[in-house]
Structure 1
């Protein structure tokens, strides 16, 4: 009997479209001789709808993945989907392909823990930690990992003392600097600022997407990435690098620029490669990660290494860095990588079943 693979995508997030792109690619790569695909679409309003995969026409288009929810409230729509899909007999696992808030931040992971169902990727704690840049930076600093200098503050602080905050940011970080929503990915809401006017505008822009933001000093240099895979004994890929000539690698650069090229492995000295891989593993474990993550670094002109951030659900299309790094590292194909992640989900779930919840 095939394993039921419940794929969650869409979501109440500004990264909704990115999630659809990921799901569109992943679903087509799943081996249907091994898995029964059960697509679950989540609208921008947080409503859940189940798609009958057998009715999807050949020549799948991304629009075909949009399912109409039966109910008009999140609670009713979620309940309907759970009763229909998660109570069916047989071996099953959930594949959350939700980027950003309400999916990558531990919320859906908490629901899946309560349902006691295996799911791919990071758990509740690591999902929440990695998405919140301010908290993850504080924990990584405590683990002795070098990062660019940063300042974090909330919306209320900005409203009450914005002039003093601007002075503080200029004194401590200088220009250029980057303003980021604390809990968002895909470079949405991020601004590169070279003046006080741009800094103020960047803060206002970031606060549209999050009540907490992070401002970082710019590190002039290269952006190097590695992919991490596994639970208790994770593996780290060879490093990769996007070759581009932009001062800021924004959303359009990542998803629309057809001129981007990947360099895998990145052309860096072997000792630096080993330092990157060791640091990535240290950070992955410090933030309690499991399943997968992409770890991003800055390498400045003097050879100093700075950890930028950890992405617990990295881009996962055929042209995304994470799967390509594994293919170039050990020959793991895209479909094989998906199956490895599902295996890690079952392993972690089985280990949790050994925990005793009563005295």
Structure 2
């Protein structure tokens, strides 16, 4: 406090520096935070920071969200900022896009991205294309978020991964976080972005706790959209994945490490724009590449990465063809045993690594 009093004469900036230091000293060095709570923190902080931000969707307000991601926000911000909508994705997505064009910054929650198909005209034709078609005069700062991909026991109409669908479209940024720091930092960056962002969460990750660093606990914590992260260093083979399958890659890498096979695991974080520089540098080091995703193989994220590697400088460093581990090319079955065989498992990644290395 004595130092603070001394700095009062030095002006507001000096006082602000000291206050920030004091605040950070009160934060634990790291903290266990679930992905659900990280997303909640991100929205809470952005709602507080910018009065133009609001959340709308089915059951996001009084019910605290279908997955409790928006828990407590309605009580804190009220009906004008946290808005329950009828069950009509085309309708409330259109309202959100119009609000974004009018100067607000909506967060539009789909209860599952499978239901975003009802609103794809609003997402693509109204949101994604407007900035280009207006010659840069009309921005559409909107985030479409919700769970994506397979959950458990919800069958075909609730189990698709839409990463490749939306990443196909110019005008959209497509984000697919894995852990709690990804979820918080990327969602805050998405809310602040002046262009439409599709934010693909994973229902099975909501309740998973991860260490959150002191830096990530700050209200100023952002992760730049378009930058991948190397989650594990290795020199034998590169594993590239996103969302929940990053966990599978890390588990596979831990098993393979016991056999002396060190895998480099890359968490894409963002599907569009894609950080090919990080992938290419890793391939040049390891000489092998395997992509892992929960979506279907045809025209998938892994297919795009494979094509870009073949067209780029890293192709000459490959000692084996790029391999893909994907979901099976069928609608998701309901029976658990069939469901387990329809999405990548750790053993599938291990098998593909050994096959690629001819072990």
Q: After TM superposition, is the score higher than 0.5? A: no
Higher normalized helix content (fraction of residues): 2
Q: Which has the higher strand share?
A: 1
Larger radius of gyration: 2
Structure with the larger RCO, 1 or 2 (CA within 8 Å, 6+ apart) = 1
- Give the TM-score, by structure 2 length: 0.28
